[in-house]
């Protein structure tokens, strides 16, 4: 086995927001080709963690490495890095007056100088990859929620990013559409040779496609292991989260218990 560096490596990471420590002591290694589920209650810091990967939020302590390199501070280097990270955010962010194909073409128009005909072919390939080849000329309002999410996914894939980041990809989708989107996440990951990080509180839809899961609560990682290990975990924090119980070791506002830092 070769000792390839992980696609993402977080070392003793601390992230602060508004002068408050949101996450601390975060260590995580994401191997190439894997899908990691990042689970945890609302406000626990899942989106904050993602913002450190894209360099939107600089670490208060520790390091964030993506593709074997420390996430740069320099804006130009940061833009280069971000081309390698496909991001699918909670809202689809589709432009309503553009067709599905035009939406998917946006990143290609913005970041490449490819001729129009080639862009059109690439766009159709991306739409084909999410099973929406036939919907190329449809406007977002003509698509179901699940279809619109898949168009947004095709757009996130437009520049062939080796790393995909999903923040709550299932919000607003029914169980069937959720299943379609999650199996698509797995299939794209494997056929395109990607690495994926999926932030979600949809535990039961996400675990079946994940290789590794972490649970964030009370300002840190309270579980890290395989989905099977997560389901068997007897940790009270993990049980409370998995069963969705309001009372337990996770505070209802899910704010980290310690707000002062002995930096
Ligand atoms: N821009 C900001 N300024 C100050 N505090 C922030 C900011 N963004 C988030 N926070 C705080 O950081 C903590 C973590 O927020 P974050 O959005 O990462 O949670 P989350 O786990 O993604 O929650 P959700 O599941 O609701 O999306 C919260 O206490 C939130 O109030
Ligand atoms: Mg969030």
pLDDT category of residue 263 using cuts at 50, 70 and 90:
very low
Measure Cα distances from 235 to 12, 215, 253 in Å.
Answer: 22, 11, 20
Across the range 199-205, mean pLDDT stands at 90
Q: Please report whether residue 104 resides in a domain.
A: yes
Considering the domain boundaries, does residue 221 fall inside one?
no
Spacing, Cα 37 to ligand 2 middle (Å): 13
Residue 121 in domain: yes
* Structural domain of 148: 91-160
CA distance 110 to 1: 39
Mean per-residue pLDDT, 213-236: 94
Q: Does the Cβ of 47 fall within 6 Å of ligand 1?
A: yes
Confidence category of residue 157, pLDDT binned at 50, 70, 90: very high
Start-to-end Cα distance in the chain: 39
Q: For the chain, what is the domain count?
A: 1
State the ligand closest to the CA atom of 251: 1
Whether 35 maps to a domain, the answer reads no
Residues 24-49, mean pLDDT to the nearest whole number: 96
How confident is residue 94, by pLDDT bands cut at 50, 70 and 90? very high
- Closest C-alpha to ligand 1, atom 27: 42
Average pLDDT for the chain: 91
| Centroid of ligand 2 to alpha carbon of 124 (angstroms) | 31
The answer to the question of residue 143 being in a domain is yes
Whether 50 maps to a domain, the answer reads no
**Residue 106 belongs to a domain:** yes
pTM of the model: 0.90
Query: How crowded is residue 174: how many other Cβ atoms within 10 Å of its Cβ?
Result: 12
Question: Taking residues 187-195, what's their average pLDDT?
Answer: 95
The confidence band for 257, taking pLDDT boundaries of 50, 70 and 90, is very low
Is residue 3 domain-resident?
A: no
Asked whether the predicted pLDDT for residue 25 surpasses 90, the reply is yes
Q: Per-residue pLDDT averaged across 87-110, rounded?
A: 93
């Amino acid at each position: 086995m070769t000792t390839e560096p992980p696609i993402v490596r977080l070392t003793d990471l601390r992230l602060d927001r508004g002068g408050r420590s949101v996450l601390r002591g975060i260590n995580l290694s994401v191997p190439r080709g894997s899908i990691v589920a990042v689970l945890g209650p609302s406000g626990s810091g899942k989106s904050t963690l993602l913002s450190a990967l894209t360099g939107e939020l600089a670490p208060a302590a520790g390091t964030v490495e993506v593709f074997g390199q420390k996430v740069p501070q320099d804006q130009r280097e940061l833009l280069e890095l971000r081309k390698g990270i496909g991001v699918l955010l909670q809202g689809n962010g589709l432009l309503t007056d553009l067709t599905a194909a035009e939406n998917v073409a946006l990143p290609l128009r913005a970041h490449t100088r490819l001729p129009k005909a080639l862009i059109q072919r690439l766009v159709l390939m991306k739409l084909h990859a999410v099973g929406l080849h036939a919907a190329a000329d449809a406007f977002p309002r003509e698509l179901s929620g699940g279809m619109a999410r898949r168009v947004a996914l095709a757009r996130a894939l437009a520049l062939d990013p080796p790393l995909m980041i999903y923040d709550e990809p299932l919000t607003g989708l029914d169980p069937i559409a959720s299943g379609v989107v999650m199996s698509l996440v797995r299939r794209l990951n494997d056929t395109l040779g990607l690495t994926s990080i999926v932030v979600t509180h949809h535990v039961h839809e996400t675990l079946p496609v994940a290789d590794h899961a972490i649970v964030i609560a009370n300002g840190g990682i309270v579980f890290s292991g395989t989905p099977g290990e997560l389901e068997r975990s007897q940790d009270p924090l993990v049980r409370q989260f998995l069963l969705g119980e309001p009372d337990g070791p996770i505070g209802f506002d899910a704010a980290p218990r310690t707000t002062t830092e002995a930096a």
